[in-house]
Amino acid sequence: MHTTRWMATLVGVGAFALALPVCAAEALAVRDARVLATVPGQGVAAAYMTIESPVAARVVAVEADVSASVQFHTMSMDGEVMRMRRVDGLELPAGREVRLAPGGVHLMLTGLSQPLRPGGAVDIHLTVRAADGESRIVRVTLPVVDGRQGHGAGHD
């Protein structure tokens, strides 16, 4: 398990460092990247990661090689009811970690073209816009891991 997380961190950091240089010495960092395994017939999957940018930026779009769409969602409780809401984009404040995690903001891959099995991988493309308006597409490979947490129900 630790090897999988370590490899995910290395792949993610390498992808961000190569794909989105905001200046010669600065790059985004991603850690703990993963997508949860699915069962046959399940049309959605949740993905999580921690992103840190040295400069202010915004993720304005996300695409995946295995899904019709990818959206940022947030989870909140309304009394006893869990509510999922789509979020347009993700702000990356300079020098602060942004954690995509269960129970909070996360990625939802919808319209899956195949089941996601542990040990596999999913490529996602993040369109990141820096504060100066320049956009770059960043490729990140997420390992597929066990640990589904019942996610997928309750979306509006």
Question: What residue ranges define each of the domains in the chain, with the CATH number in brackets?
Answer: 2-145 (2.60.40.1890)
Residues contacting 141, CB < 8 A, separation 6+: 8, 11, 12, 15, 33, 121, 122, 123, 124
Q: What residues form DSSP beta bridges with 137?
A: 127
Mean pLDDT, residues 63-68 taken together: 95
Please report the pLDDT score of residue 137 as a whole number: 84
Residue 58 pLDDT > 50:
yes
DSSP secondary structure string for all residues of 26-90 = EE-EEEEEEEE---TT--EEEEEEEEEBSS-EEEEEEEETTEEEEEEEEEEEETTEEEEEEES-E
- Round to whole Å and give the CA distance between 44 and 25: 37
Please report the pLDDT score of residue 46 as a whole number: 95
- Round to whole Å and give the CA distance between 155 and 23: 39
- Round to whole Å and give the CA distance between 122 and 142: 5
pLDDT tens per residue, range 67-83: 999 999 988 777 888 77
Please report the pLDDT score of residue 3 as a whole number: 53
Provide the whole-model pTM. 0.75
pLDDT tens per residue, range 83-96: 788 888 999 999 99
- Going by C-alpha positions, the residue among 106, 121, 91 that lies closest to residue 152 is 106
Please report the pLDDT score of residue 1 as a whole number: 53
User: What is the CA angle 150-152-156, rounded to 5?
Assistant: 135
Please report the pLDDT score of residue 150 as a whole number: 44
DSSP count for the chain of H helices, then E strands: 1, 12
Residue 119 pLDDT > 60:
yes
Confidence category of residue 120, pLDDT binned at 50, 70, 90 = very high
